Amino acid sequence: MTQNLFSLVGRVALVTGGNSGIGLAMARGLREAGAKVAIGGRRAARNAQALADLGGDGTDTAAFELDVTDETSVGATVQGVVARFGRLDILINNAGGVNRKSVMDLELGEWEQVLATNLTGPFLCTKHAARQMKAQGSGKIINISSTYGLTAPSKGLQVAYTASKHGVVGLTRVTAVELMPLGIQVNAIAPGYFFTEMTGELRGTSLEQSIIRRTPSGRLGETEQLVGTCLYLASSASDHVSGTVIPVDGGYLASDGLDRG
């Protein structure tokens, strides 16, 4: 029994923003654990590249052009996954964006775009996935928040991103309470600094060195280091876990952040 707790054989997963970075790493991990995996992303060419990366003969993977800010697109994607694989067991709400402007300079439209992607998107995907999971009597929803969903950048600036990721934590908790009686667990992962396309510009900068000094592990993370936590929350190992937020940050949040020199 114990050795099968983390097996995802027979499960079907949808990973939003699954065509690059953290999402693609999680999609790989889910597939290697036995799940059939659908990735959702706006760019068809990137989706095709991601499918090639996942490998296989195409019978256990699929890609959908998904805009998480568009409810019609979300509904069609969930229906498409079910039509292709017969069910939906795991939803990874990973799609996201960032804007690093000051609160004094951020335009309303820029604020709304980040909130639409990072918070409204997970709401819409949860809404449609949960309906299918309710009919099945089980499901796992994993929201990707951030350490900035639990704290704030030292000099502010990422106002829309930080507010949206705090919102993801609230969304996780309230939906966990509602959906747990239906057999659906909702949890969140709060990654620290990881090297992705979004953060690649940090390499070799003074900010990278500041992050390293703050982080007990002494380094930024690699996306593959998020896979284990994802598999735990996606599998039967976490059947009695809901409403939690698990930081994967090299100890970043455990430190008081002071550079004592």
Domains of the chain (ranges; CATH) run 2-248 (3.40.50.720)
Q: Is the pTM above the cut of 0.85?
A: yes
Q: Are 41 and 69 in contact (CB under 8 A)?
A: no
Residues 6+ apart with CB under 8 A from 211: 193, 202, 220, 252
| Tokens 């059939």 -> residue | 36
Sign of CA dihedral 211, 213, 215, 220: positive
Catalytic residues: 161
Question: What is the C-alpha to C-alpha distance for residues 8 and 230, in angstroms, rounded to an integer?
Answer: 12
User: What's the mean pLDDT in 252-257?
Assistant: 90
Question: What is the C-alpha to C-alpha distance for residues 193 and 214, in angstroms, rounded to an integer?
Answer: 11
Burial 26-35 (b: 16+ CB within 10 A, else e): bbbbbbebeb
User: What's the mean pLDDT in 143-168?
Assistant: 94
What separation in angstroms does the CA of 254 have from each of 10, 169, 247, 251, 260? 37, 18, 10, 5, 16
**Tell me, what's the pLDDT at 124?**
98
Q: pLDDT per residue over 179-218, tens digit each?
A: 999 999 999 999 999 977 766 677 778 888 888 899 999 9
| Confidence bin at 61 (pLDDT 50/70/90) | very high
Torsion of CA 170, 66, 46, 221, to 10 degrees: 10
What separation in angstroms does the CA of 147 have from each of 8, 80, 162, 190? 27, 33, 9, 5
